[in-house]
Amino acid sequence: MENKKCYIVYLGAHSHGPSPTSLDLQIATHSHYNLLASILASEEKAKEAIIYSYNRHINGFAALLEEEEAADIAKNPKVVSVFLSKKHQLHTTRSWEFLGLHRNGKNSAWQKGRFGENIIIANIDTDIFRLCSYRKSAVEMILRVRLVSLLRCAVTRLYFYLFDDVASLGRCGVPMSMFHETIRVADKSCLDRPHGGRQMSLPEICCRDDPLSKIDPASCYGADVLAAIDQAIDDGVDIISLSAGGSYVVTPEGIFTDEVSIGAFHAIARNILLVASAGNDGPDLGTVVNVAPWVFTIAASTIDREFSSTLTIGNNNQQIEPDVTAPGVSILSAYSPFATASNLPTDTRRRFQFNVLQGTSMSCPHVSGIAGLLKTRHPNWSPAAIKSAIMTTANTLDNTNRPIKDAFDKTLATPFAYGSGHVQPDLAIDPGLVYDIGLTDYLNFLCASGYNQQLISGLNFNRTFTCSGSHKVTDLNYPSITLPNLGSKAVTITRTVTNVGPPSTYTATAQVVGYNITVVPNSLSFKKIDEKKTFQVIVQANSVTKRGSYQFGELRWTNGKYIVKSPITIRRKY
Residue in 310, 316, 550 with CA at minimum distance from that of residue 406: 310
What are the pLDDT digits (tens) for 2-15?
688 889 999 999 98
Look at residue 373 and tell me whether its pLDDT is greater than 60.
Answer: yes
Strands 273-277 vs 296-301: parallel, antiparallel or unpaired: parallel
Mean pLDDT of 307-321: 47
Most confident of 66-80, 168-182, 300-314: 66-80
Look at residue 516 and tell me whether its pLDDT is greater than 80.
Answer: yes
Look at residue 59 and tell me whether its pLDDT is greater than 70.
Answer: yes
Q: What is the C-alpha to C-alpha distance for residues 444 and 172, in angstroms, rounded to an integer?
A: 40
| Better pLDDT: 18 or 283 | 18
Per-residue model confidence (pLDDT) at position 179: 28
Q: At residue 230, what is the residue type?
A: D
* H or E element that contains 39: helix 22-40
Q: At residue 472, what is the residue type?
A: K
Contact 368, 124 (CB under 8 A): no
Q: Which of 16, 57, 125, 441 is catalytic?
A: 125
- The distance from CA 49 to its chain's CA centroid, rounded to whole angstroms, is 30
Give ranges for CATH 3.40.50.200 in the chain. 89-431
Counting runs of H as helices and runs of E as strands, what totals does the chain give?
15, 26
Contact 33, 47 (CB under 8 A): yes
Correct CATH for 5-84 of 3.40.50.1220, 3.10.450.50, 3.30.70.80, 3.10.20.600: 3.30.70.80
Long-range CB pairs of 141-145 (<8 Å, 24+ gap) are 141/224, 141/225, 141/227, 141/228, 142/228, 142/231, 142/232, 143/174, 144/120, 144/232, 144/235, 144/237, 145/120, 145/121, 145/183, 145/185
Mean pLDDT across the chain: 74
Per-residue model confidence (pLDDT) at position 171: 29
Strands 324-327 vs 331-334: parallel, antiparallel or unpaired: unpaired
Look at residue 16 and tell me whether its pLDDT is greater than 70.
Answer: yes
Give the least confident one: 273-287, 325-339, 434-448, 488-502. 273-287
Q: Which of 108, 137, 243, 361 is catalytic?
A: 361
Mean pLDDT of 439-454: 89
Most confident of 39-53, 199-213, 225-239: 39-53
Residue 28 contacts by C-beta under 8 Å, 6 or more apart in sequence?
14, 16, 20, 53, 55, 56, 59
286 burial type by CB count under 10 A (0-12 exposed, 13-18 middle, 19+ buried): middle
Contact 63, 49 (CB under 8 A): yes
Give the least confident one: 19-28, 325-334, 540-549. 325-334
Most confident of 67-81, 338-352, 411-425: 67-81
Contact 138, 161 (CB under 8 A): yes
Residue in 47, 104, 338, 313 with CA at minimum distance from that of residue 206: 338
Contact 567, 419 (CB under 8 A): yes
What are the pLDDT digits (tens) for 479-511?
999 998 898 899 999 999 999 999 999 999 999
| Better pLDDT: 473 or 30 | 30
User: Is 258 known to be catalytic?
Assistant: no
Look at residue 63 and tell me whether its pLDDT is greater than 90.
Answer: yes
Mean pLDDT of 388-408: 86
Could you tell me the pLDDT band of residue 131, with boundaries at 50, 70 and 90? very low
Residue in 184, 221, 211 with CA at minimum distance from that of residue 89: 221
Contact 388, 436 (CB under 8 A): yes
Residue in 525, 520, 515, 527 with CA at minimum distance from that of residue 554: 515
Question: 477-572 is classed in which CATH architecture?
Answer: Sandwich (2.60)
Give the least confident one: 20-29, 65-74, 310-319, 337-346. 310-319
CA pseudo-torsion sign 434, 435, 440, 442: negative
Most confident of 84-98, 183-197, 397-411, 557-571: 557-571
Give the number of other Cβ atoms within 10 Å of residue 235's Cβ: 17
Q: What is the C-alpha to C-alpha distance for residues 92 and 537, in angstroms, rounded to an integer?
A: 38
Question: Residue 483: beta bridge partners?
Answer: 570
Most confident of 138-142, 334-338, 358-362, 560-564: 560-564
Mean pLDDT of 387-410: 85
Q: Where are the alpha helices (DSSP H) in 460-572?
A: none
Mean pLDDT of 59-71: 95
Per-residue model confidence (pLDDT) at position 24: 95
Mean pLDDT of 465-470: 83
User: Is 125 known to be catalytic?
Assistant: yes
Question: Residue 540: beta bridge partners?
Answer: 516
Q: What is the C-alpha to C-alpha distance for residues 348 and 342, in angstroms, rounded to an integer?
A: 10
Percentage, residues of the chain above pLDDT 70: 66
7, 35, 37, 73, 284 from 68: Cα distances, Å: 12, 15, 14, 9, 36
Mean pLDDT of 378-402: 93
Please tell me whether residue 168 adopts helix, strand or coil conformation. helix
Mean pLDDT of 127-143: 32
| Better pLDDT: 218 or 322 | 322
Most confident of 114-118, 211-215, 276-280, 331-335: 114-118
Strands 194-195 vs 153-159: parallel, antiparallel or unpaired: unpaired
What are the pLDDT digits (tens) for 82-101?
999 887 655 444 566 667 77
Correct CATH for 89-431 of 3.30.2350.10, 3.40.50.200, 3.40.50.300, 2.60.120.620: 3.40.50.200
Phi, psi (deg, nearest 5) at residue 261: -60, -45
Per-residue model confidence (pLDDT) at position 452: 84
Give ranges for CATH 3.30.70.80 in the chain. 5-84
Give ranges for CATH 2.60.40.2310 in the chain. 477-572
Residue in 308, 548, 545, 298 with CA at minimum distance from that of residue 407: 308
Q: Which of 24, 72, 195, 504 is catalytic?
A: 195
